């Protein structure tokens, strides 16, 4: 018997939108700062899912049939010279963090890199999100830049680190 509950990584489907939104809202600094109605909603997540391509998928990780994490790779910049660079986002339900779930999603991307075609991954991480910084560092990412006070709303101003990895 496996020591871990059954986990499966698969392509996200439209039916996953409510779970993806819930995970995002529980993890994102600005989604949890009391302004959810001004932030990302179900329609936005459905738009994300409609915009995926073979080279820019959104993945979910299910544990015993429940979506507990998701990740996506999106075009980094809209010019052809940057076509093999992708922005990566990884979100794991708070109760499931620290159990290797983000690593499992990242390994799926790495394994499928020849098909997906990326040569660089870039992550934007809030300066206060030490867990996410640590996660990406463990995956071989380095700090490539700092965007001072770029993320803000009425209550919060936050620096964002640009972390990257070349494959």
pLDDT one-digit tens code per residue, 19-74? 999 999 888 766 555 544 457 789 999 999 999 999 999 999 999 999 999 999 99
How confident is the model over 99-146, as pLDDT tens digits?
999 999 999 999 999 999 999 999 999 999 999 999 999 999 999 999
- DSSP run (H or E) holding 114: helix 113-116
User: Which CATH number is 7-166 given?
Assistant: 3.40.630.30
* pTM score: 0.88
**pLDDT score at 4:** 60
How confident is the model over 71-94, as pLDDT tens digits?
999 999 989 999 999 999 999 999
Q: Where are the domains of the chain?
A: 7-166
Rounded CA Rg of the chain: 16
Q: How many CB atoms lie within 10 A of CB 48?
A: 20
> What does the alpha-carbon distance between residue 73 and residue 56 come to, in Å, rounded to a whole number?
5
């Amino acid at each position: 018997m496996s020591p871990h509950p059954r986990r499966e990584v698969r392509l996200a489907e439209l039916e996953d939108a409510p779970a993806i939104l819930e995970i995002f809202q529980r993890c994102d600094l600005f989604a949890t700062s009391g302004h959810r109605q001004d932030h990302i909603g179900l329609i936005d997540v459905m738009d994300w899912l409609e915009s995926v391509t073979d080279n820019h998928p959104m993945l979910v990780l299910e544990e015993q049939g429940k979506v507990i994490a998701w990740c996506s790779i999106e075009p980094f910049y809209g010019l052809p010279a940057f076509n093999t660079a992708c922005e990566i986002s990884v979100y794991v339900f708070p109760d499931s963090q620290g159990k290797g779930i983000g690593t499992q999603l990242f390994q799926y991307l790495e394994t499928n890199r020849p098909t997906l075609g990326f040569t660089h991954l870039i992550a934007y991480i809030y300066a206060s999100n030490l867990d996410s910084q640590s996660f990406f560092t463990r995956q071989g990412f380095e700090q490539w830049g700092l965007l001072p006070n770029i993320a803000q709303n009425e209550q919060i101003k936050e620096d964002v680190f640009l972390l990257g990895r070349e494959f």
